[in-house]
Structure formats: C-alpha cells, structure tokens
Amino acid sequence: MAARTFTIDGKHVSADESATILEAASEVGITIPTLCHLDGVYDVGACRLCLVEVTGVPKLLPACTTRVAEGMDINTDSERLRKYRRMTLELLFAERNHVCAVCVANSHCELQTLAYTLGMDHVRYEYTFPRWPVDNTHSLFGMDHNRCIMCTRCVRVCWHIEGAGTKNVSGRGARSQVISDLNQPWGTSETCTRCGKCVMSCPTGALFAKGVTVSEMERDRTKLEFIVTAREKKQWIA
C-alpha cells in the first residue's frame, strides 16, 4: 500500500497505487462515463467511453484499466473526449436496433441515459438495421440481441461471480454475439443456475425478466453488490 498523488481535472487527488483512474475519480466525485465497467467484476476496457487524456502520454488511456501514478495529470473531459464519446454512442445506436420507445428498459437504460447526458440528439451514421433474434426459451429470462451492446458484463458476472460459465461470446466483429453454453437456446442450457445475475448486470434492455413490458425492466444492482461484498470482504451485507 503506497499512496500516489496526482491531479484529475485540475483537482489534487491522492489514492492508493492499486487504484485505477476510474476509482480515484469516483472517490472525488468526478464521473467518467462507462458502459462495460461494472463494480465487482474485472475490467476489459472494451467500450472506450472512459478514455481520458494524460499529459505527456500521446495515446488516450482507459480509466477503468489504467492505474494511477505519481504526478499524473489526468483530464477526463475535453472537447475531443466529448466528441469521441458521442461518436461511440452514435456507433452503438446505429449498430443494432435500439428502439427506446418500445424497449423494456426504457427510462432504466444506461445507454439511453448516457446518450442524453452526453448530448446525443440524433445519430449521424446510417442505421444498419440488422436482424437479430430474441431468445425467449428460458423459463425466467429473455435475451434480445437487438439491444445488446456487447459490453460482456453478463459474461463476466456469469463466470466470475456466479461461476456458472453459461454466457460467452461467439463470432467476431459486427457479428459477434453473447451466447449460452455452446451457442444453444438459453432454455436448453445445462449450466445456467437461473441466478439472474446477468439480467441484473445488463446496462440495456438486452437481458430482461420475463413478463415485463415497455419501461418495466428495472435492475436491482444491490443484489450484485451483496455478492461482491461477500466475495471481497467475506461479509454477508450489501
């Protein structure tokens, strides 16, 4: 344990050397937009929304996987970063079929919230309108690939918190998708424990509890927090 002092957006901050930029920023109330990050599971640096500028480093660095260092001068918000973040969101909206008006997660969606928070009033790229299926074979949950942003939070909670290893990714590029077991209908999975952590972790309307309709899919992240606390601190409290 050694402390490091550095600045985030001009603020003097100190944090343990093991902290990521994202953690250190959140400690001092600076919010960096994220989609693939989820407290309690390891980070993959995939969504690129949390990229920040560090003085003296030519490349942008992902705040979720970059550790703080002594004397770092971090900038989490600039014209350039805002532009890239908005473009990233536009690319996501154009990539699959995110029809907020008829989505189970409407008003409870991290993608939707980020879009308006970051000022995305329309998408400049042509929508690709791919045809993705909805897997409704599971008795409790459904998976709508149209809404999936491939953040892989569900995959990570399934492997690293539940330990079931049901969810995974197949294919590549724009055709990559979240699958169950050996790319089979979720309902036929023999490894799924029906714990619902994947549903709780999903930022959009891709994973949902059966029976909910438009705007009804609210996540209860405290259920995940409970498990994470139990794992990390060996305490059965959230």
CB closer to other proteins out of 183 and 222: 183
Interface mask toward other proteins for 136-165; x: CB under 8 A: ----------x--xx---------------
22 and 70 in contact (C-beta within 8 Å)?
A: no
Residue 182 binding other proteins, by CB under 8 A: no
CB closer to other proteins out of 44 and 140: 44
Residue 212 binding other proteins, by CB under 8 A: no
Phi, psi (degrees; rounded to nearest 5) at 9: 50, 40
Residue 179 binding other proteins, by CB under 8 A: no
Q: Which of left, alpha, beta for 219 (phi over 0: left; psi -120 to 50: alpha)?
A: beta
Residue 78 binding other proteins, by CB under 8 A: no
Window 9 to 38, contacts with other proteins (CB under 8 A): none
CA 161 remoteness from chain centre: 16
40 and 222 in contact (C-beta within 8 Å)?
A: no
Residue 120 binding other proteins, by CB under 8 A: yes
Kindly state the smallest distance separating residue 65's Cβ from other proteins, in Å.
5
Neighbours of 25 (CB within 10 A): 24
Residue 44 amino acid letter: V
Three-class SS state of 207: strand
Name the segment binding other proteins (CB under 8 A); options: 26-34, 88-96, 194-202, 217-225. 88-96
Which of 112, 189, 201, 204 contacts other proteins by CB under 8 A?
A: 112
Which residues on neighbouring strands pair with residue 167, listed in sequence order?
Answer: 180
Strand duo 51-54 + 61-62: pairing: antiparallel
Residue 130 amino acid letter: P
- List residues near other proteins by CB under 8 A: 44-48, 51, 59-60, 62, 65-66, 83-84, 87-88, 91-95, 97, 99-103, 106-107, 112, 115-117, 119-132, 146, 149-150, 168-169, 171-176, 215
